Amino acid sequence: MSTTKELRYEDATPKLVTVERYACCECGVAHTDERMARWCCATSMPCKCGGRTSKHYTFCDNCRSKQGLAEWLALEFAPWDGEFPVGEWNGDEFHWDEDDLREASCDAAESDELTYEMIADFCDSHRVCKCVREPLPKFEVENFLCDHLPDECDMTREQVERIDLAVNAILAAEQFPAAWTHIKRRIDPRAIAAALGVEVPGEKGGA
């Protein structure tokens, strides 16, 4: 229990204090934190590798791409039996057949004659990955109409089932093909080489 002593306004003489702030060397805005003041108008930051990076990243492009590659190489190979298309995990590219992939690998290496090293390089740097067809979504009338019906209008279970069944039957009968999509599954460059008819060094004759 504390007793509060009276302090009269007239007696409460304030002391003038100066608060330390760090002013940005570029725009002059004052920050309480020295690091924030440095960061304020800085356009680049040091990276742990000794390089420079944009202030919005902790690591430089080079370190980030090395990191990305290490993560990619640590993935297990997906089973792949030579089916196309194959994709590039970093980007929207598809390679639709052997010739397409052969050409892309040769272009990347700026060479006319494809070697296993070029294929392996291409697979790693472009993150050559498996593709699958995602099944088409099923029609659901409740989702389709949910934002458009008044609150008091409840569809009966019977209506929902009847409409969903009918629309999905029509869609199925149309046999629309599903689009291909990349999945994060790495393909063994040796399997790619086999599909392209390129010999893998050290594997002649097979084991």
Chain residues in the site for Zn ion (CB under 5 A): 24, 26-27, 40-41, 47, 49, 51, 60, 63
Give 41 or 146: the residue with its C-beta nearer to Zn ion: 41
Question: From the CB of 127, what's the least distance to Zn ion, in Å?
Answer: 20
Give 26 or 154: the residue with its C-beta nearer to Zn ion: 26
Chain position carrying tokens 């608060």: 19
Contact 52, 59 (CB under 8 A): no
Give 39 or 96: the residue with its C-beta nearer to Zn ion: 39
Question: From the CB of 61, what's the least distance to Zn ion, in Å?
Answer: 8
Task: For the chain, give the number of residues.
Answer: 207
Q: Closest Cα to residue 188, out of 77, 74, 90?
A: 77
Give 36 or 166: the residue with its C-beta nearer to Zn ion: 36
Could you give the angle at which helices 98-109 and 116-125 cross, rounded to 10 degrees?
90
| DSSP bridge pairs for 23 | 30
Question: From the CB of 38, what's the least distance to Zn ion, in Å?
Answer: 9
| Separate counts of helices (H) and strands (E) for the chain | 7, 8
Question: From the CB of 49, what's the least distance to Zn ion, in Å?
Answer: 3
Eight-state DSSP code of residue 178: P
Question: From the CB of 70, what's the least distance to Zn ion, in Å?
Answer: 14
Number of C-alpha atoms within 13 angstroms, CB side, residue 109?
19
**Identity of residue 113:** E
Give 45 or 196: the residue with its C-beta nearer to Zn ion: 45
Question: From the CB of 109, what's the least distance to Zn ion, in Å?
Answer: 26
Q: Closest Cα to residue 103, out of 12, 9, 93?
A: 93
Eight-state DSSP code of residue 10: G
Give 47 or 129: the residue with its C-beta nearer to Zn ion: 47
| DSSP bridge pairs for 30 | 23
Return the SS3 of 174.
helix
